[in-house]
Amino acid sequence: MKILVNRNFALLWLGQAISNLGDVILGAALVLWIANDLGRGRSWAPVAVSGVFIAEYAPVAIIGPLAGVFVDRWSRRLTMLRTDGLRLALTGCLAWALSPTVPFFGEVEPSPGWQLGAVYTVVLLDQSCGQFFNPARLALIGDIVGPEDLARATSLSQATMGLSVIVGPAIGSLLVFNFGIQWAVIADALSFAVSFLTIAMIRAPVEKRLEGDHNISFSQEFRAGLHVLLGSRGLLAVLLASLLSMSAFGALNALAIFFVTDNLHAQPNLYGPLGTVLGLGAIAGALIAGLIANRLGLARLLWGATFALGLTTLLLARMTSVGPAFALIFLVGATWIAVNVAVEPLVLRLTAREFVGRVTAVLTPAGSLASVLSAALAGSLVSTVLHGFRGNVLGLAFGPVDTFFCGIGALVLLGSVAVRLLMHEVHFLDEEPKPETPTLLSPSDQAKAPDS
């Protein structure tokens, strides 16, 4: 692709493609290892597996919104190098902790409690590092990629991430069952080493560091970032589209297995292929969105993809046979990822550089929270209020799962209208007139500023 002619981005993309694959491999391997090895036949195995996901999401909710303040203060490239170095060390420690015998005051066989504690600790710290790495990565992309190539850069990154999600679990399973969990951990550690090396080779523009002013507190900087996000119609549209798409994705993840068995009347073993088709749709959608983004316009891509996601979710809810359902699952994956392809370029083109970290650090956790809440709501409603529900509207029969899918699809459709209205006549930083993005001024600078 043309974007890979950009040496700096090619290095960043390669490192992140390998690092993301390593993360997916380890995530899948840990779940399989805990469920089928460490906790085999134990009543606590499901809770132990859940602990991995809690350790993954806790930093997103707690550290994520705050990390952006520091990312905007620090060098983006150095932040990425340091966090990758820390994650390399952490995964190396985990490989040691999960070895059959731990050299700790002699060769001793580690207990399940010791190994679970090591897993949770490393996953928690690894994800905490990620809350600093990810906003820094987006800000660095803004420094090394021109505005006209941002959508292509994002689409390529999203496509490779989709490929990782498809092949990563298979590799993780192969390593766990044939070589042992330590090799999955080592694979992830090596992926961080590759990421570190590729970032070190990037020749980023000289960064203008923000001047420290002790009169500006952490809370002031954090509130300034929120003011930028909530004070811009364009960024509000991005936030809304992200919340809607992640809500649809969370509901689909929570109810997919029940959709297969109850609505499609198929065997549970189709659940795996359904996920594969979703991933293939995401890859195709990412590549197509990258190709048409500049001609269509990022604003149209954002609301158009949001509208299409709502529509395909509604149509999916009405499916009762496998073939059409799989075709629509492919389209759901394509439209969902198209929303994501529009989000990152829009953030970079609507946000002043000194606020990118803070804006991203709020947007990402908000989307993750929407996905988790949607999944929890879907599961609880289908298990309680909608349990055993059967209805008929205009000759169309409704059950628990398709009723919830219809509800979330309608919500996304309506939300796409709001996204379109918010994006109307929004201007980018690289266009005239300049957007209304405030600059954080110290009290002394404010006093010197001339009255308008």
What is the distance between the alpha carbons of residues 148 and 430, in angstroms, rounded to a whole number? 10
Q: Which CATH class is domain 1-203?
A: mainly alpha
- Looking at residue 358, its pLDDT comes to 94
End-to-end Cα separation, the chain, in angstroms: 47
On whether the CB atoms of residues 363 and 241 are closer than 8 A, the answer is no
- The predicted structure's pLDDT at residue 389: 73
Look at the pTM and tell me if it is higher than 0.75: yes
pLDDT digits (tens, 9 = 90+) for 206-229: 765 554 454 678 889 999 999 999
Low-confidence ranges of the chain (pLDDT < 50): 105, 211-212, 214, 434-437, 440, 442-444, 446-452
Q: What is residue 207's predicted lDDT score, i.e. its pLDDT?
A: 65
**Of 293, 436, 430, which is closest to residue 348 (Cα–Cα)?**
430
pLDDT of residue 451: 47
Q: Are strands 102-103 and 396-398 parallel, antiparallel or unpaired?
A: unpaired
CA atoms within 13 A on the CB side of 396: 11
CATH 1.20.1250.20 residue ranges of the chain are: 1-203, 220-430
Exposure on the CB side of residue 27, measured as CA atoms within 13 A: 21
What pLDDT, on a 0 to 100 scale, did the predictor assign at position 154? Answer: 95
Q: What is the pLDDT of residue 343?
A: 96
Q: Is 201 helix (H, G, I), strand (E, B) or coil?
A: coil
CATH 1.10.10.10 fits 220-430, yes or no: no
Nearest to 151 by CA among 14, 339, 354: 339
10 Å Cβ neighbour count for 392?
8
What confidence score (pLDDT) does residue 449 get?
47
Which pLDDT value is given to residue 105?
47
C-alpha distance from residue 68 to each of 33, 189, 358 (Å): 34, 25, 4
CB of 181 closer than 8 Å to CB of 28:
no
What is each CA distance from 451 to 434, 435, 438, 447, in whole angstroms?
19, 20, 16, 9
